[in-house]
Amino acid sequence: MMFSKGRLLAGGVVLFALVCLVSTYDFSRGRVPQTNSPLISDVLAATTARECGRDATEVVARHLPPGIEQAAAEKILAEAVIEPPKPWFWTPVNESATSWNGDTLEALRTIKITAFGTNLLRIHMTFGEGKLRRLAAEVVCRFG
């Protein structure tokens, strides 16, 4: 039994469409990260993927208000994590870093991972006498 060129071509188109559908689904799975952190959930609710460089100080200040104890602020930052997607054809890059420079803490937390890039929440906090004095936060995007 021979297959006609038309049936073979139609089968190829259907197979290609199926691969595209599965790939698109896998790419999009990274767009809604799973997290138990209210901080990350609120930042994600307030931003979109196109808002790179967006000031997120107001949203973060709801969870890290001025005057909060340093230990409490560090605990909130430690809980600010996401569960990265488990795709089958790309490797997620989950970045989390915390660095101190005197009384200033800079924290970088991944809030969204896709096959096209990563969205990070960058938080700068300055402490004085064990309490938060100044806060600045922004959403940063890294592509590639």
- The answer to the question of residue 83 being in a domain is yes
- The answer to the question of residue 22 being in a domain is no
Question: What's the pLDDT score for residue 142?
Answer: 82
Q: Which residue has the higher pLDDT, 33 or 64?
A: 64
Six-digit token pair at 14? 């259907």
- The answer to the question of residue 6 being in a domain is no
- The answer to the question of residue 3 being in a domain is no
User: How far apart are the C-alpha atoms of 117 and 27, rounded to whole Å?
Assistant: 11
- The answer to the question of residue 17 being in a domain is no
| Domain count of the fold of the chain | 1
- The answer to the question of residue 63 being in a domain is yes
Considering the chain, what percentage of its residues have pLDDT values greater than 70?
85
pLDDT band, residue 44 (cuts 50/70/90)? confident
Question: What's the pLDDT score for residue 61?
Answer: 95
Average pLDDT over residues 48-74: 87
Task: Give, in degrees to the nearest 5, the angle at Cα 47 between 75 and 95.
Answer: 50
- The answer to the question of residue 21 being in a domain is no
Question: What's the pLDDT score for residue 60?
Answer: 94
Q: Where is average pLDDT lowest: 18-27, 39-48, 60-69? A: 18-27
Q: Between the CA of residue 21 and those of 11, 77, 89, 141, what are the distances in Å? A: 15, 37, 14, 26
pLDDT band, residue 29 (cuts 50/70/90)? low
What CATH number has the domain bearing residue 90? 3.30.160
pLDDT band, residue 34 (cuts 50/70/90)? confident
- The answer to the question of residue 15 being in a domain is no
Burial 67-78 (b: 16+ CB within 10 A, else e): ebebeebeebbe
Could you list the residue range(s) of the whole structural domain that residue 122 is in? 31-143
Contacts of 122 (CB under 8 A, 6+ apart): 106, 107, 108, 137, 138, 139, 140
